[in-house]
Amino acid sequence: MTDFTLHGDRFPFNLEKWYVDVLLDDGAVLLVYVARMRLFALPVVRFTAELFLPDGRVVRGGGVGCELRVERAGLYCGSFALEHQDLRFTGEALSADLHFTPRYLPFCVRDPLVEDGARSLRWWVEVPDAAVSGVLRTPEGERRVVGRGYRDRVYFDLLPWRFPLRELIWGRAACGNHACIWWEGRLADEALHFRWQDGVVHRDTVHPASLSDGRVLVDGRVIDQRSLAFNTFAKPLLKRLSADPYHTKWAAAAAIEGAPGRAIHEVVRWH
């Protein structure tokens, strides 16, 4: 059972974030984030949800400034609830009631993943691959969900202005009875890489899935992304403090050992 206990704050900065995605069988992609950040004396809690439709339209929901509550059953923030096998939220533009049936156990490659003195980046994959069912609601009506889901959790207190990563490559694919995740991180003096496939971690750079017909979901500087809704006046300071990372995320058709499916992958680069 997942432990949702929050990690403690550490001056002057820390961030704790859950990321969920669902690859729907019809080609739509749902991305959901819930995060708490502290920068000096400023605490920020935010939940965002984005539904990328196959025709290129995007339906967005979420909230800023909600109080994040942790209970034995899960995380709660306003209308948002993330529990062990369920995800629910309600909004004017986008609502969801989804059930996840995990196909594999959680895993952690190494803990911490990246260190810089006494500060670190920690990453746990809580749901590597799951069958997902349920309902999404938009102003156009109700959409029955059939797809594959994923969830991870990140906590770091690395100082944004001396963040050790220069480039991050991540992706996952779900194809028939197969599933895979790949991760590559480039630091100033080290390269980290691994792949997870069908429940087994491999420490090599062999790409486990073939990708085709990719379409861009997100492309731009992280601080400018609409889903984060940062204050216009705060953006120049945040860009300077964070080394102004640039983020591109794609959805694609995929195949693993000949089985067809879908994938999502991304690249983040820090200046």
**201 pLDDT above the threshold of 80:** yes
Percent of the chain with pLDDT over 90: 65
**167 pLDDT above the threshold of 80:** yes
Most confident of 21-35, 159-173, 239-253: 21-35
Integer Cα distance of 213 and 9 in angstroms = 42
Integer Cα distance of 65 and 215 in angstroms = 32
The pTM (predicted TM-score) of the whole model is 0.93
Query: Token match 């909600």: residue?
Result: 66
How many domains does the chain contain in total? 1
Task: Tell me whether residue 95 is in a domain.
Answer: yes
Q: According to the model, what pLDDT value does residue 239 have? A: 64
Picking from 191, 146, 141, 144, the residue whose alpha carbon sits closest to that of residue 164 is 191
Task: Tell me whether residue 2 is in a domain.
Answer: no
Task: Tell me whether residue 158 is in a domain.
Answer: yes
Task: Tell me whether residue 1 is in a domain.
Answer: no
**234 pLDDT above the threshold of 60:** no
Task: Tell me whether residue 7 is in a domain.
Answer: no
CATH number of the domain encompassing residue 137: 2.40.370.10
Identify the domain containing residue 42 by its residue range.
Answer: 13-269
Strand (E) or helix (H) holding 240: helix 235-242
Q: According to the model, what pLDDT value does residue 190 have? A: 85
* Least confident piece of the model among 73-77, 106-110, 122-126, 187-191: 187-191
Q: According to the model, what pLDDT value does residue 194 have? A: 93
Q: Which residue type is seen at 15? A: L
Mean confidence (pLDDT) of the chain: 90
Q: According to the model, what pLDDT value does residue 203 have? A: 86
Task: Tell me whether residue 6 is in a domain.
Answer: no
Integer Cα distance of 180 and 196 in angstroms = 5
Integer Cα distance of 49 and 78 in angstroms = 13
Picking from 61, 73, 79, 82, the residue whose alpha carbon sits closest to that of residue 17 is 82
Task: Tell me whether residue 193 is in a domain.
Answer: yes
Q: According to the model, what pLDDT value does residue 163 have? A: 86
Q: Are strands 80-83 and 29-39 parallel, antiparallel or unpaired?
A: unpaired
Task: Tell me whether residue 228 is in a domain.
Answer: yes
